[in-house]
Structures are given as C-alpha cells and as structure tokens.
Amino acid sequence: MSLQEIEVQVEKIDNIFVMRIEGAISSFTYKKFIEEIRKCNRKGGLIIDMEEVTAISSMGISALKEISDMSYKSGNKIVFLNLSMNVKQSLQMVGLSKVFNVAPNEELAMKMASKPSR
C-alpha cells in the first residue's frame, strides 16, 4: 500500500464503532480518514485501531488534531488503539501524545469509548 492509499473498515459493537485503519494517513488520504470518522462520531463513541497504519504525515497529524476537536464538540469519545511506533513517535515529536485517549487493549478501549466525554 502506498502513501496515497488508505483502507477503512468499520464495525459496530453495542453502541461503539470500531474503525480499523490500514495504510498511510497523508495529504492524499486524510480527507477520507476524517470523513469516515465524522460519520461514526456523530452516532456514538469510536475506537480507532491504528495497528496497520504504516505512516503519518504532517497532514495526518493535523487530521488527528481535528479529530480531537470533533470528539470534544460532539461529546462522544474517540479512543485510539494499537498505535504503531511511527504514529507514537510522530505524536511525541509534535507534543500531542497526551492530547488523545489511547487504550492499551480493546477491552479498556470499549470502556473508555462508552463513557461520555463531559
């Protein structure tokens, strides 16, 4: 998969959406990434599994920041799961690693996503 491709799979478990992302979050793919998240976040809590994210660009980081704002405004939690080393390092470099809800496993992610954010 190239930097121009991203695959998004969504399943609903109870009232929580679980989104699995595969590929790169880049200037080519961030709009699709945000739009998919926007659709799910309107309807409830969201877990974003990023285990298969191969790279994240500065536009991808901007997209994550926008997602954080979206979560706050909607009142629905967004929880990240399985951050790859690339994504962790990118977030740390720009000082955003503490901004996001990150769960160490799917069970905890479900609990975190089901709690209201306010």
Mean pLDDT of 27-46: 91
Q: What is the DSSP string of the chain?
A: --TT-EEEEEEEETTEEEEEEEEEESTTTHHHHHHHHHHHHTTSEEEEEEEEEEEE-HHHHHHHHHHHHHHHHHT--EEEES--HHHHHHHHHTT-TTTSEEESSHHHHHHHHHS---
Instruction: Provide the CA 25 distance to its chain's centre, in angstroms.
Output: 10
CA 93/CA 15 separation, integer angstroms: 34
For residue 29, give the amino acid letter.
Answer: T
pTM: 0.89
pLDDT of 32 reads 93
CA 118/CA 103 separation, integer angstroms: 18
Model pLDDT for residues 63-118, shown as the tens digit of each residue: 988 988 888 888 889 999 999 888 888 888 888 878 888 999 999 999 999 876 55
pLDDT of 53 reads 92
pLDDT of 116 reads 65
